[in-house]
Every structure is written in structure tokens, then in C-alpha cells.
Chains A and B, each alone.
Chain A
């Protein structure tokens, strides 16, 4: 296999795909996170919990906090996306969803190569991550 000018071996096709997906996705997610956060702290958009009241609730357990501020658990917050303090969660969802996209991007490479074990591994990994994201494990 030919070496690159820097002495390195070229990475595999799946490594390149995985890397590209993570790189583009991370940048996009961080932009969404920052823009939404700017709207939140500048007061441009109204939050569900007034920002000056947060110090009285951020010492509570997450479950008690959710109950106090009427934040639905699971994916219910999507219905409250008009509020500034929930909009940055879209960036968090994008960050957390990236690995699923990255695994799906390399799956065809394993299938084409007839690398059955790694194709199966990728499918099971995606299933595990989607199960966690579905809230079924948490009973939501």
C-alpha cells in the first residue's frame, strides 16, 4: 500500500467516511447550539423558566426540576420549542445523533466488502443508540 507524503498509511474508506460525517456534523451542531444559546441569554426569545429564577432550581434533582418547571420528560420538550431555554437542546440532539449517522454512513462499505460481522455490529450499535434515544429504556 502506498504511503502518503507524511509517511502515514492512507486511512480505510470507512474511517474517512466516519471522520467526514463527524467533522461536518459537529460543526453544524455547535453552530446550532451557539445560535440558540445566544437567543436565550440575550433575552431575544422568551424562556420557559425565567433565567433569573434558574439559581433557585438548578440545585434540585433533574426529576424534581422537571416537575417544578412543568418540563415534560422524554421527547415532550419538542412541543415547547418556542421557548429559548429549550431551543439549544436541538444542538444537543444533533451532537448526540451524529454517531448514528456516522455508523449508517459506513454500513454500506461493510456490506459491499461482505464484512458481515462488522455490518451486523454497526446495525446493532445503531439499534442500541436509537433505543437509548427513544426513551423506551427510561419508560417515557
Chain B
């Protein structure tokens, strides 16, 4: 049975169910929904990668916009830190989106497969996050006044933070922005390690600020896809709804779910998606 012979409503319905599940495992597994959306939907649904990438950006954008206000009010997302980085990532994301839409589909699938295995490597082998308490600030971050204080509930005290290696971080964010725009992947999985491990931002502030960054980066790339006619509401709306509802359920399951098991499932599913993407790109299993 070819995908085209299936009734039109089946795929959006399956998409809703799958993205609902993705929303749950994304929260419990500690990955953004936008990060796993593109690999899985591009691998196993009949939609062209252009439409999947546009939907992926809007899924990540909706999630970021929904979570951003709470994180800002809790001082877990920092505007002074986010603003300079967002300018770099958004400009790069526009370039990435343009390049992504201009490239032929096959090499994009191959590149996506490689990115998925890179994501898996980060997921499996990432070094332990640093607490980054009071790293010495570098000259640029001192000049820009990028520093902050947040309440660390596990320590029951306020924690001060500062930023180091700002220039190195900004250079890495150029690549992250290009990748986000080119593949429509929410870049939280790359933002957080750079903010935390390279720039010395505490993990919670890095994760919160990463959400704020996504809301600007994905906006910039989303415009490019929208104006190219790559936004199909029948793909976007069930995906956004599914991920958002799933994330709400995921938050409630956080206390009882076993993150180790969920991450194991995620690793297997992403592995299959990576292989599928490579096979699509190599025309072995189109």
C-alpha cells in the first residue's frame, strides 16, 4: 500500500499521536521536542523534508514561546546573556535555512543522518555538566554586564554566575544557528553544552536561556520557510498540538517515569531515524 492510497486524515492523526508521545518522552528524557521531531517525522512519514523542517521549527518555536515567560520570571533565562547570542544564531539560522532550501534533498537526508548520530553522541557521551559557580568573567562579558544570580533550590541558596570564553561561545553559536536553520532542529541539545561547558553558565540558567534563544533563532528561520510555501497547516498544527499536550503530560510523569529507560528508548528510536535518514539519502530505502 503506497502512502498516497491512505485516506488524507490518517497521516495527520498518526502524526498527532506520535508527536504526543514525543512530547512526553522529550520532557522525561531531557531533550527538546523540536530536537527529536525532525529526525523521526522525516524518517518515517511521507512528507517532504522541506515541510518537516518547517514544522520542526514551528514545534520548537511554540514550545519555546510557551516556556520562555515562566523561565524569565524565575531568573532561569537571562536576557543579557541571550540577546548577543540570539543575534548571532538568528542571522546564522537565516543563512542555514536558505542553504537548506537550496540544496538537493538526498545530501540533506545524509547530512541529517550524520547530525542525528552527532546528537546521539552528545546524548550518550556528554561530560557531566558543571555547576559553573563563579567562573572568572572574561573581558567581553564583563564589559556587557553579563552576569546573574538565581535561586538554586537543591542548595537552598542564591548562586551567582558569570561568563567566560564569550568569543569562543559566539563562534560556536554561528554553527549552531546554521544547523538549526538548515535542518529545522531545535538546537537546545547544542545550546546547553556550549553555554554550560564552554561559557561556564550554570546548567539551569543554560537550559532556560537556551529556550529563549530558540524563540529567536527559530523565528528567523521560520520566516524563510513560510515565505517559500513550506508551511503546511495539516502537518504543523497536529504536530504543535501533539508536542505541547504531550509535554504537559510528560511534566506530570516526571516524578514517576524512569528517565534512564526513556533515554534508552530515545537512543534506539534516534538510532533508527539516523539509519533511515542515511538510507533515504543514499536512495537505498527512499
Contacts and interface: CB of A to CB of B under 8 A. Distances in A.
Contacts of A96: 61, 219, 222-223, 226
A98 B65 contact: yes
A63 B101 CA distance: 9
Which bucket holds chain A's interface residue count? 35 or more
Contact of B158 (A9, A56, A88, A137): A9
A132 interface: yes
Contact of B227 (A37, A122, A140): A140
Given A8-B151, A40-B233, A132-B224, A62 B51 contact: yes
Interface residues of B, number: 68
Contacts, number: 193
B72 A19 contact: yes
Given A7-B156, A125-B90, 6 more contacts: A11-B72, A15-B79, A40-B233, A62-B230, A65-B48, A93-B226
Contacts of A46: none
6 contacts: A6-B151, A34-B237, A52-B8, A59-B48, A65-B229, A98-B215
Interface of B: 3-4, 6-9, 11, 46-48, 50-51, 54, 58, 61-62, 65-66, 68-70, 72-75, 77, 79-80, 83-84, 86-87, 90-91, 94, 98, 101, 105, 144, 149-151, 153, 156, 158, 215-216, 219-237, 240-241
A59 B47 contact: yes
Given A16-B73, A129-B90, A138-B98, A37 B219 contact: no
A22 B216 CA distance: 11
Nearest to A58: B47
B58 A92 contact: yes
The B contact surface, by secondary structure, is helix
A12 B145 CA distance: 13
Nearest to A89: B231
The A contact surface, by secondary structure, is helix
A52 B236 CA distance: 17
B159 to A, nearest CB: 11
Contact of A51 (B65, B91, B223, B234): B234
Question: Which of B6, B62, B219: most chain A Cβ within 10 A?
Answer: B219
